[in-house]
Amino acid sequence: EKYVSLSPYQYGANNPVNNIDVNGDSIWYTRNGDIVTMYVTAKIFNNSSDNINMARAAKDIVSDIKSTYEGKFEWSDNKTYNLKVDMDLKVATSMKDVENSDHLFVLADSDSKGARGATSMLGGKVMTLASSDFANNNWLSNNLSYNKTFTATHEFGHAIGLSHSQNPFNIMKQGGVVHNSNSNQRVIMLQQQNNLNKGSNYLEYMGRKIPYPYIHY
C-alpha cells in the first residue's frame, strides 16, 4: 500500500520526481517540502438523456474541487502544510473510455428520490450526479446558464474519505450550499489515503460495461 508519511525521513513517495502511481490508483498523494499534492485521475460520463456540455462540466467540477479542498493544515508534527489538488478529469464518450482504475463521475437522469448525488461507497470510485445540475450543450445554456457543482464536490468528498458534517458552512453538510472545507478535514483526507480507490467503477450487464451502482449517503 502507498502512504505518504509527512515524516522528513520518508523516502520515495515524498519525492515529486517519483510521483509514479505504482499501484494503479487514481487518487494518491506526494509531498515536496511543505506542499502536499493530491493527484486525481478521473473520467466524467454522461449516462443521462440530456445533451450536456461535458467539457464545460468537467472544467467546472475541477475548478470547484480545487477551490474547495485546497488549503493549509497542521499535522501531528506541529508543522503547517499546504494541500494542493492536481486533477485530470477527461470526458468519456462511452464506458469503453473508462480505465478500471479511474474515478468516475456519472451524470444520470434523476430518480425522483430527492438526493441529487450518491457515491458507490465511502472511499469508492463512482460518483453519480443529477444531470439537471449541468447545462445543456446549446447556445442558450452555454451563454445564459451555469453548472451547479456543489453535489459533485460533496460526493467527491466521500470518495476521498470524508463523512457528513453538521456545519452548515461546510461542503460535507448534506443539502448544504457552501463550498468550503476546513483544516481538520484535510488532515482526515491524509489519514484516509489507504482507504481510497475502493471497489470497481463498473459492472458487466448483458455483455457491456455500465457504471457501478450507487448508494445514498
**This prediction's pTM:** 0.87
Phi, psi for residue 215 in degrees, rounded to 5: -125, 155
For residue range 170-214, list pLDDT tens digits in order. Answer: 999 999 999 999 999 999 999 999 999 999 999 998 889 999 876
For residue range 155-164, list pLDDT tens digits in order. Answer: 999 999 999 9
For residue range 64-119, list pLDDT tens digits in order. Answer: 999 999 999 999 999 999 999 999 999 999 999 999 999 999 999 976 665 678 99
Distance, in Å, from the CA atom of 211 to the CA atom of 217, rounded to the nearest integer, reads 18
Helices 54-69 and 183-191 cross at an angle (nearest 10°) of 100
For the chain, domains (ranges, CATH) are 16-211 (3.40.390.10)
Residue-level pLDDT at 4: 59
